[in-house]
Amino acid sequence: MPHYHFNVDDGARTSDHEGMFLADIGAARRQAVTIAGALLEADADRQRDGRPWLMSVTNQASEELFRLDFKLTTNALGVFVP
């Protein structure tokens, strides 16, 4: 079973040293979305001032397989600006 790591970089890189064994890359994508959702929910009130952050998913050999990029942009009223 493949081993995946879910690393976050939001200005300070947090490496996932433990990782997870998952059936395939599709399962890794679903897990990445789940983890990112939990991080977004836990950090919903944090002001990031438009600074992007990302989650990089790597294999056991530390090769990046895919990444999720995030950026929250608001106007002065705190309303989303596309």
10-residue mean pLDDT profile of the chain (82 residues): values are 96 94 98 94 69 94 97 68 53
Residue 78 domain-assigned (yes or no)? no
Longest CA span, the chain: 48
Please tell me the predicted confidence (pLDDT) of residue 12: 86
Report CA 4 to chain centroid distance, whole Å.
Answer: 13
Residue 77 domain-assigned (yes or no)? no
Provide the token pair at 17. 């040293």
- Residue 68, CB-side half-sphere exposure with 13 Å CA sphere: 18
Residue 79 domain-assigned (yes or no)? no
Please tell me the predicted confidence (pLDDT) of residue 49: 62
Residue ranges making up the domain that contains 60: 3-70
